[in-house]
Amino acid sequence: MPAGNWADLPQWPTSMLERVRKQAPRVHCLMNTVVQKLVADGLSALGAIPSMTSSTEEVQDFARKADALVVNLGTLDKQRREAIGLAVDVAAAREIPWVLDPAHCDYSPPRARFAQDLLQRQPTALRANAAEYGLLTVPDRVVAVETGVVDHISFAGQTISVANGDPLMAKVTGTGCLSGAVIAAFLAVDDDRHAATAAAMLVLGVAAEKAALSASGPGSFEPALLDALAALDGGDILERAKVTG
């Protein structure tokens, strides 16, 4: 179990990244309308294949072709709420991994209630911040990612902490939403849900650090992050990884 011995097995995140690039998993995104483009470009840069429709007529056809799903509750409306239910039905029936990002559910009680209902459907991983966790009860089998300056990825009583990333990420709308999609891509290529989720957070965090080296501000950081995701190699990860647990 990589989570138990990072020091002995530092190659696993790189190995998973290589599998994402080789297998090019299809990740269907039920994504808020603000960041659909960034999330699609981020998945493509990583080597995965994004799709984005939230149409109730079409979402099940897309979910049937997907290797993983990410469900983000930003800019939630009736149609996407219904589409999410339909897509999760397909994910459950096909036993493909799916990630829940309750995106600011602390701002909106109906969104928080919907997030809790979705948690009962056993997503593979939950990505949320401390304020969002305060409103949610997480089932045992769900990998719990608590994002912050240091990201804590907990499962089955163990926690992996990842201290990589850059403050500019907080200045670019959608980098958090992208992390949910990157987790889904990694879950699609490895059955160790704890290690795969941690590897995804590590890869995005290291890419952000590389991007910050060439960025002049939040505007130039965004294309630099996509360039870094596409160019990232095992050397970058080994050199920069700040992982404990």
Footprint (CB under 8 A) of its own copies, residues 150-179: 170-174
Told to check if 225 binds its own copies by CB under 8 A, we report: yes
Minimal distance, residue 208 CB to its own copies, in Å:
12
Are 56 and 86 in contact by the 8 Å Cβ rule? The answer is yes
By CB under 8 A, name the one of 44, 116, 122, 129 that touches its own copies.
44
By CB under 8 A, name the one of 111, 127, 152, 194 that touches its own copies.
111
Residues 6+ apart with CB under 8 A from 50: 26, 27, 28, 29, 39, 40, 43, 44, 181
Other residues' Cβ atoms within 10 Å of the Cβ of residue 207? 30
Question: Taking contact as CB under 8 A, which single stretch among the options 4-12, 60-68, 89-97, 140-148 is the one that binds its own copies?
Answer: 60-68
Question: Taking contact as CB under 8 A, which single stretch among the options 9-17, 39-47, 131-139, 182-190 is the one that binds its own copies?
Answer: 39-47
Q: Residue 155 or residue 221: which is nearer to its own copies going by CB?
A: 221
Residues that contact its own copies, how many (by CB under 8 A):
54
Are 2 and 9 in contact by the 8 Å Cβ rule? The answer is yes
**Residue 183: alpha-carbon gap to chain centroid:** 3
Structure tokens that stand for 20 in this block: 């994402």
By CB under 8 A, name the one of 1, 5, 11, 33 that touches its own copies.
33
Q: Residue 103 or residue 160: which is nearer to its own copies going by CB?
A: 103
What DSSP letter does each residue of 202-227 carry, written as one string? HHHHHHHHHHHHH-SSHHHHHHHHHH
Told to check if 9 binds its own copies by CB under 8 A, we report: no
Strands (E) located in 67-186: 68-72, 98-101, 125-129, 143-147, 151-155, 158-162
By CB under 8 A, name the one of 34, 119, 135, 212 that touches its own copies.
34
Applying CB under 8 A, the residues found at the interface with its own copies are: 32-38, 40-41, 44-45, 50-58, 61-62, 65, 74-79, 104, 107-111, 170-174, 216-220, 222-228, 230-231
